[in-house]
A and B are shown apart, each in its own frame.
Chain A
Amino acid sequence: MLSYLIFTLTLGGIYALLALSLNLIWGGVGMVNLGLAGFFAVGAYASALVALAGVPLPIAMLLACLIGAAAGLLATFATIRLRGDYLAIVTLGFAEVVRMVALNERWLTRGSDGVSGIPAPFRAELGVDGFNLLYLALVSVIVLGVFLTLRRLDLSPFGRVLKAIREDQELATFAGKSVTRFKMQTFALSAAIAGLAGALYGHFQTYISPDHFQPLITIYIFLAVTAGGVGRPVGALAGAYLVVFFLEATRFLGELFTVLEPGQVAAIREVLVGLALLCVLHLRPQGILPERIAPAPKPETSV
């Protein structure tokens, strides 16, 4: 039971990174990324493959961030100036193409067999339980670090520019901000965080395959961010852990309804995820921890 809890918390931390990544661009600049699962996969494969080739883990993970960021720029350069709809379509397509490449380029990714034997730090020395505990600590520290950095960013002049762009792109341009540059920087940073989450996932599971990076993950993260509160890093964090616990709790549905086949139980779980997302969007679009926007200073003279 304890090891199950540790596993769930580690997964929660990895989802939290993805949620922070989405919140940065969605809450920050108002762009959506429907290809989150794709960037997650890119990071996981990049880090796993170079680590298997003998590169030390910290460098492998850093590389995953860089490749994630590069993929982010590649996927968005064409749409960054357009309406958000186009970015949504392109990112969705990106994730599909990543999955296709992972399935077909067997020389690189070993296709549907997946990559196994991914190095896990100190697993041999600590044993399985010790490793899981250490990894939970590692993931949690990284989540905390990313969270604090993003919160700092949120309150910095950079973060204020982002919110200005979100609220009124033309006004931000008028104020002399290079909207395109800010958007690209933010998207690259966000994709890098998703890549890092992927790297952490791969070295934790020690096995990855295209099936681990279904588009469904993206929907889980959207649910996490909307439930937590778009635009507030702590909301994304809370939302991610909440979603992981929700998912794990619904895993036991099958035991309650023994008449159903396993496939049907899986279908019910996914329907519940969809319904939860719709409920949040309709009933509490601002999330559990809504964004706090400081009131604008009162004008000196009233007209």
Chain B
Amino acid sequence: MTIVAQAILNGIMTGMLIAIPALGLTAIFAVLRYVNFAIGAYATVGAFAAWYVNTRFGLGVFPAALVAFVAGGVVGLIAEQTALARLRPSGALAVAIASIAVNLILENVIRFIFGNDLQGFDLPIARDWRFAGLRFGPQQLQTATLAIVIMAVVFLFLRFTRFGKAMRAVADNPDLGRLFGMDPARIAMITVVLGAGLAGVGGVLLGLDTAIDPMTGSRLLLSIFAAAVLGGLGSIPGAVLGAVMIGVGEELAVLVLPATYRSAVGFATILLILSLRPAGILGERNT
């Protein structure tokens, strides 16, 4: 029983971390209507940027995550403006394929600079807390708290700021948005910075526990996609809900399956949800 409870607890914690890049993916999809496969590389860029300032300058988790957001956002914006934006008229698939090329390029630039070796963060080692027979890692709690703060900021941004409102309006109806004088190009850029930045933060938060390498982001891709598809591509609350469910599902699955099949859970979930309810749990009803 405790094992299952521990697995659910760990799953919720991991799920909240997966939620961050899943939010990024789904935000970009909501506004720009394409699936960005480069999210994986943006996460890796963020993770390496944070690792660099952590091990070089001794920055803690919070400032390092901020650096990751900026690094992911800037790289994402550059990639969008140089490689992806001009392909939008050719359709969502052309942009998606180009984003795969961007993913490959960024991943290998990182490999060129930092090599293939695993890199660990420099963090104080703390003993796990125990409560009602369950283990809580202080590090785990810290990253989960950070994830909740980030989600809250994203929700507040979308709900109350001018740009946030404009983003949601354009996601709902681009033509109407344009009619009301919103500049689609600018909103697209802000969305990309936000989405890629979130991916960058997600990369650090998920990399803190283990070590990171140039493939870190690509390995997470399936879980991130599963979360976004499960919640409904384009739905912000859906991405969070989907991520937590994927996190719990993965932890429960590895109780009965070899741990290496962890990300197969994501794939199975995608297949299942798409055959039963293609729009996802909280998705829009147009596919």
**Chain A residues proximal to chain B, CB less than 8 Å:** 30, 32, 34, 77-79, 81-86, 88-90, 92-94, 96-97, 100, 103-104, 216, 219, 222, 226, 261, 263-264, 266-268, 270-271, 273-275, 277-278, 281-282, 285
For residue B119, CB closer than 8 A to chain A, the reply is: no
Interface residue stretch chosen among B134-142, B196-204, B266-274: B266-274
**Which A residues touch B271, using CB under 8 A?**
78, 90
B251-287 interface code vs A (CB 8 A; 1 in, 0 out): 0000000101101101100111011001000000001
The interface residues of chain B, by DSSP majority, are classed as helix
Determine if A84 and B274 form an interchain contact, defined as CB atoms under 8 angstroms apart. Answer: no
Determine if A278 and B90 form an interchain contact, defined as CB atoms under 8 angstroms apart. Answer: no
**Chain B residues proximal to chain A, CB less than 8 Å:** 29, 34-35, 37, 83, 86-87, 90, 92-94, 96-98, 100-105, 107-109, 111-112, 115-116, 221-222, 225-226, 229, 233, 258, 260-261, 263-264, 266-267, 270-272, 274-275, 278, 287
Determine if A93 and B93 form an interchain contact, defined as CB atoms under 8 angstroms apart. Answer: no
Determine if A277 and B97 form an interchain contact, defined as CB atoms under 8 angstroms apart. Answer: yes
Closest to A77 in B: B275
In order of increasing CB-CB distance, the 10 nearest A-B pairs are: A93-B267, A78-B275, A274-B105, A274-B104, A267-B112, A267-B108, A277-B101, A274-B101, A78-B274, A267-B111
Determine if A104 and B267 form an interchain contact, defined as CB atoms under 8 angstroms apart. Answer: no
Complexed CA–CA distance, A270 and B233 (Å): 30
Residue of B92, B222, B274 with most partner-chain A CB within 10 A: B274
Determine if B267 and A222 form an interchain contact, defined as CB atoms under 8 angstroms apart. Answer: no
Complexed CA–CA distance, A226 and B87 (Å): 14
Complexed CA–CA distance, A25 and B205 (Å): 39
Partner of B260, one of A83, A85, A103: A103
**Which A residues touch B102, using CB under 8 A?**
274, 278
Complexed CA–CA distance, A175 and B92 (Å): 26
Determine if A90 and B97 form an interchain contact, defined as CB atoms under 8 angstroms apart. Answer: no
**Which B residues touch A263, using CB under 8 A?**
111, 115-116
Determine if B97 and A222 form an interchain contact, defined as CB atoms under 8 angstroms apart. Answer: yes
Determine if A94 and B93 form an interchain contact, defined as CB atoms under 8 angstroms apart. Answer: no
